[in-house]
Amino acid sequence: MAIDNSWYTEECPEGGSAFSMKLKEKVYEEQTPYQLIEIYETEFFGTLMTLDGLVMLTDRDNFIYHEMLVHPALFTHPQPRRVVVIGGGDCGTLREALRHPDLHTVEMVEIDERVTRVAERFFPELCETNNDSRARFHFTDGIKWVADAAPESCDVIIVDSTDPVGPAAGLYSQAFYASCFTALGAHGVLVAQSESPLYHLDLIKNMRSAMAAAGFPEVAHLHFPQCTYPSGWWTATLACKKTPATGYREHAAAQKTFPTRYYNHSIHKAAMAAPTFFLEALS
């Protein structure tokens, strides 16, 4: 990360590239026991949140990430009722999940409560469902929470994590995926953000292998643009216990009763397509 008073630049050494946003001002900074939270106002992307110098979200494009992390997974499960969100302290993933009227509970497990409190101040639109009676907050270690969860106690687990470094590294392990497998019901679906195919293909391959080794027979990948993340091309990885990972309730997605800005049933289908180099790397 570099700042020259007018631009915020996040460097991506593994990709030999960087992304910059023109700034208006820095409006907040807080060092928590876990990470450094910083908030900026930008000229084009609205409010920007960074954690330890890495872009987490902006007003302008966070809807793509949050919608693609949530809705494909929920429309893949045949009848989701109990959802768990690991991470996602900005509450955008929670909000998208709660758009589904048939959900009974969404357990939100975030290790750093300060991320949520800062988001409530600077990203109130993402936190508008925080008082929904179906939302339950747990500010604790997500890895331990899932390991301690009762078998078959949830339908969908959504892992909205930071990059696989520091406390988040364990969220990419076979042991964690095995805990998810146990906690999920018979048709359970796990989805996790899985970085860029251009820059982090080895990570995606390792995630796929670890999910399979944890017991998931079905693993698939969703592709979508995310211009403020390295390379501008991002993925989420779906793992299913029984339901076909490449199938989904297309009619239900087409007839959904809530608004989205990016996701729709056609985007869902298109996001499952992958370029040749990606398919060859996974074969």
Q: What is the pLDDT of residues 111-157, one digit of tens each?
A: 999 999 999 999 999 999 999 999 999 999 999 999 999 999 999 99
Q: How confident is the model at residue 4 (pLDDT cuts 50, 70, 90)?
A: low
Predicted confidence at residue 235, as pLDDT, reads: 98
Which H or E run contains 204? helix 201-213
Q: How confident is the model at residue 1 (pLDDT cuts 50, 70, 90)?
A: low
Ordered by start, the domain boundaries in the chain are 2-58, 62-282
* Averaged pLDDT for residues 14-39: 97
pLDDT in tens, 33-86: 999 999 999 999 999 999 999 999 999 999 999 999 999 999 999 999 999 999
Q: How confident is the model at residue 167 (pLDDT cuts 50, 70, 90)?
A: confident
Domain 2-58 has CATH 2.30.140.10: yes
Checking if the pLDDT of 159 tops 60, the result is yes
User: Which residues contact residue 268 at a Cβ distance below 8 angstroms, ignoring those fewer than 6 apart?
Assistant: 71, 72, 75, 248, 250, 253
- Using alpha carbons only, how large is the chain's radius of gyration in Å? 18
Percent above pLDDT 70 for the chain: 98
Q: Six-digit token pair at 196?
A: 């860029």
62-282: CATH topology: Rossmann fold (3.40.50)
Percent above pLDDT 90 for the chain: 95
Q: Which residues are catalytic?
A: 160
Checking if the pLDDT of 3 tops 60, the result is no
Give the residue with greater pLDDT, 168 vs 227: 227
Predicted confidence at residue 2, as pLDDT, reads: 58
pTM metric for this prediction: 0.96
Bridge-based pairing of strands 233-240 and 218-225 is antiparallel
Which H or E run contains 142? helix 142-148
Cα(first)–Cα(last) distance of the chain, in Å?
35
Predicted confidence at residue 111, as pLDDT, reads: 96
